[in-house]
Amino acid sequence: MLNEIDLGRTDLNLLVLFDVVLRERHVGRAAERLHLSPSAVSHGLGRLRRLLNDPLFLKTPKGVVPTARAMQLADPVSEILARVSSVVASAAPFDAARSIRRFTIGAPDGVSTVILPPLLHELKRAPGIDISVRQLLPLPSETSPDRAWRTAFCDLESRAMDIAIIPSDHIPTRFHRHVLFEEDFVIAARARHPLARRLTLDRYCDAQHLVVSHTGDAYGFVDRILEERNRRRRVALTVPNFMFALPILAETDLIAALPRRFAAMHAARFGVVALEAPLPLGKFQLHGVASGAAMMDAGVAWLFEVLRAAVDRRSSPRKRGSMPRAKAGSPLSRG
């Protein structure tokens, strides 16, 4: 680490130079990206080597390779530059058309695959904005809705994440939230599946089921609903995410409960059809959530509004009658 004396004589541009050379693995290409001469880059690397007491990069016929010390510094330097960039960006009025910020959005995979296409369409007007998507997962074996997503709430407050999309009504009051859309479930199966002609509750229970479960736990919210009716099903396969489920359904006689919007957007290209469930599977709301402090950041507030507008403008699945809500737990983690 840099001590206090070193920091006083350190040029922040040296860290930028280090980061670019590390990414390019080539002094000449790094010089082009930085609009410097190769000799200027080499001179800067020399200063860094003396400062950090390490060669950092070793010459090869194809460019340079980082030393072990350089690789250790990669993440800390990247984080420092990201934080500095955020501080500088917040000092000036936010202009989406000119901004080069990166924002992080967290969502369960069945949600991110639904909101990303319309969001990216909206972001065409802000070509310098970059998005990182993190998969949100409820805490394993946590049945309390207000505690299942507490890791996401902690990440929002620490600003490790800018916005989260959470399938729960139990959002602490200290957070800003907005209902993005309401979701329910359909039964997905291959187009020529025998059940596609007539799906009764008896035939549904007799079928072999696929459950999306990131932990591999085969017991999901559908099983709780079936137990209330003294029914059971056989879960023949679990897979870790919804996109993985679609090609499996397309090639087998397995069936699965999938979010309606997700199925409407992605199922057809796999030859998978959506069937109305033979029993009420409940519905739930998806909330966009950000910390109060984050919403004071004009950039985050702008992105929150863009996300809301992107979801609103996308055609919703056809309206359905009222259905009872699913019981406690996470319907987007185990169906």
Judge whether residue 267 has pLDDT over 50. Answer: yes
Judge whether residue 5 has pLDDT over 50. Answer: no
pLDDT value, residue 330: 53
Report pTM. Answer: 0.67
Beta strands (DSSP E) in 3-153 are 57-60, 63-66, 102-107, 130-135
Distance CA 218, CA 102 (A): 37
In the 8-state DSSP scheme, what is residue 329?
Answer: S
Tell me if residue 260 falls in helix, strand or coil.
Answer: helix
pLDDT value, residue 246: 97
Size of the chain in residues: 335
Judge whether residue 322 has pLDDT over 50. Answer: no
Judge whether residue 250 has pLDDT over 90. Answer: yes
Q: What is the pLDDT of residues 37-84, one digit of tens each?
A: 999 999 999 998 988 899 999 999 989 999 999 999 988 888 888 777
Percent of the chain with pLDDT over 90: 59
Q: At what angle do helices 38-52 and 27-34 cross, to 10 degrees?
A: 110
Residue 215: pLDDT band by 50, 70, 90 thresholds?
A: confident
Q: What is the mean pLDDT of residues 232-254?
A: 96
Q: What is the mean pLDDT of residues 91-96?
A: 80
Judge whether residue 28 has pLDDT over 70. Answer: yes
Distance CA 85, CA 242 (A): 35
CA distances from 164 to 34, 111, 151, 300 (A): 34, 11, 11, 12
Residue 323: pLDDT band by 50, 70, 90 thresholds?
A: very low
pLDDT value, residue 333: 58
Judge whether residue 204 has pLDDT over 50. Answer: yes
CA distances from 237 to 2, 254, 257 (A): 52, 8, 13
Residue ranges and CATH numbers for the domains of the chain are 4-91 (1.10.10.10), 98-335 (3.40.190.290)
Judge whether residue 151 has pLDDT over 60. Answer: yes
Question: To which residue do tokens 């805490």 refer?
Answer: 139
pLDDT value, residue 326: 36
In sequence order, the β-bridge partners of residue 20 are none
The dihedrals phi and psi of 224, each to the nearest 5 degrees, come to: -65, -40
**Inter-residue contact 83 to 101 (CB < 8 Å):** no
pLDDT value, residue 275: 96
Q: What is the mean pLDDT of residues 219-225?
A: 91
Distance CA 331, CA 220 (A): 8
Residue 332's nearest CA partner among 196, 152, 89 is 152
Tell me if residue 80 falls in helix, strand or coil.
Answer: helix
Q: What is the mean pLDDT of residues 104-128?
A: 93
Name the average pLDDT for the chain: 86
Distance CA 249, CA 188 (A): 8
Structure tokens at 16: 């930028």
Structure tokens at 39: 């000799």
